[in-house]
């Protein structure tokens, strides 16, 4: 039995509906999936229902953008109570930050005589957690850029002219938020952030695990993080980070995490809820 614990739908910057995603998961012979949209859990009820209809096990999740010592990191939350009031309040706050940032980035594009409207981006995004990919898609749709990559390269990447930094939750607060909502906090794709020196401090703040297996981790990176997790008594997770169709094929199922790691994740969450000792084994 295998899991893919990092997936996006059109409730954030993915292109699939929860039902389409669940159907792809079934076709890829996965047994367990988690939905980890950016800064929203709105897709979780539909994903849970779709998974049930396909006989898949579902883990509610969310991917939070956080800040730690001037680094932007992504934190995956698993098994959170998606009705937890503090969690929903913070997600709502950061969704508004995302919406305001879209207006600022579109403003910068307009200053460069790229005439797109924030309303067009919102219409295309049609969700509460819009991000740069929606601006990129709008730029391609309106013929300004030839591809999403070109849009990021020319305008949207960090330090490019339309890029606006996002105000973020601190990692400490985010880990606390996840724990008080009953979940486990896992550092997403550390191989993309070059932040290994921060991991021990994040563990001191309560980090539960690291995403060792990710579609953009090399085998060397994966082995490195598997060693690090085992030596630090951290949970091991993995996922494809599928955002929809990629070069003709969805990424979902390209990462297959053995079920034993899901079992350890569940056991840790149970122990957190019981206030018992936090051990990954
Ligand atoms: P945001 O949350 O608005 O900062 O946008 C970040 C999201 O943009 C990431 O989660 C990816 O989905 C996407 N992204 C980042 N860099 C690129 C890139 N170079 N090409 C395509 N998508 C990207
Ligand atoms: Fe994304
Ligand atoms: Fe991420
Ligand atoms: Zn992601």
DSSP character for 146?
S
**Which residue lies with its CA nearest to atom 2 of ligand 1?**
131
Chain position carrying tokens 């790229």 = 114
Measured from the CA of 133, which atom of ligand 1 is nearest? 8
Cβ atoms of 269 and 79 closer than 8 Å: yes
Q: What is the b/e burial string over 229-263, where b = at least 16 CB atoms within 10 angstroms of the residue's CB?
A: beeeebbbbbbbbbbbeeeeebbbbbbbbeeebbe
Out of 10, 75, 130, 132, mutate this one to test ligand 1's pocket (max ligand atoms within 8 Å of CB): namely 132
Structure tokens at 247: 């070069």
Q: From the CA of 281, how far away is ligand 2's center (Å)?
A: 31
Which ligand gives the minimal distance to the CA of 39? 1
- Whole-model pTM: value is 0.96
**Which residue lies with its CA nearest to atom 20 of ligand 1?**
149
Read off φ and ψ for residue 24, nearest 5 degrees. Answer: -65, -40
pLDDT of residue 106: 98
Cβ atoms of 74 and 94 closer than 8 Å: no
Rounded to 10 degrees, the C-alpha dihedral 36/269/33/92 comes to -20
Per-residue pLDDT 10s for the chain (281 aa) are: 999 999 999 999 999 999 999 999 999 999 999 999 999 999 999 999 999 999 999 999 999 999 999 999 999 999 999 999 999 999 999 999 999 999 999 999 999 999 999 999 999 999 999 999 999 999 999 999 999 999 999 999 999 999 999 999 999 999 999 999 999 999 999 999 989 999 999 999 999 999 999 999 999 999 999 999 999 999 999 999 999 987 678 999 999 999 999 999 999 999 988 866 555 54
Q: From the CA of 132, how far away is ligand 1's center (Å)?
A: 6
Q: How many CB atoms lie within 10 A of CB 126?
A: 10
Question: What is the spatial distance between Cα 239 and Cα 4, in angstroms, rounded to a whole number?
Answer: 5
């Amino acid at each position: 039995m295998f899991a893919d614990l990092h997936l996006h739908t059109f409730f954030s910057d993915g292109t699939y509906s929860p039902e389409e995603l669940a159907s792809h998961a079934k076709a890829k012979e996965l047994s367990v999936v988690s939905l980890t949209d950016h800064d929203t859990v709105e897709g979780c009820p539909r994903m849970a229902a779709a998974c049930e209809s396909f006989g898949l096990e579902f883990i509610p999740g969310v991917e939070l953008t956080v800040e730690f010592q001037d680094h932007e990191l992504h934190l995956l939350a698993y098994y959170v109570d998606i009705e937890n009031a503090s969690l929903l309040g913070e997600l709502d706050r950061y969704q508004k930050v995302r919406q305001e940032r879209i207006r600022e980035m579109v403003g910068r594009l307009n200053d460069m005589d790229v005439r797109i409207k924030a309303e067009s981006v919102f219409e295309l995004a049609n969700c509460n957690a819009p991000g740069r990919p929606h601006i990129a898609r709008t730029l391609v749709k309106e013929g300004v850029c030839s591809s999403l990559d070109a849009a990021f390269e020319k305008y949207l990447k960090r330090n490019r002219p339309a890029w606006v930094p996002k105000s973020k939750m601190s990692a400490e607060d985010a880990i606390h938020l996840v724990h008080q909502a009953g979940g486990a906090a896992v550092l997403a794709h550390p191989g993309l952030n070059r932040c290994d020196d921060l991991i021990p401090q994040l563990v001191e703040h309560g980090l539960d695990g690291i995403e060792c297996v990710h579609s953009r981790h090399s085998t060397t990176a994966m082995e490195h993080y598997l060693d690090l997790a085992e030596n630090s008594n951290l949970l091991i997770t993995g996922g494809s980070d599928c955002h929809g169709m990629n070069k003709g094929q969805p990424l979902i199922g390209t990462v297959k995490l053995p079920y034993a790691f899901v079992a350890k994740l569940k056991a840790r969450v149970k122990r957190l809820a019981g206030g018992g000792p936090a051990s990954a084994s």
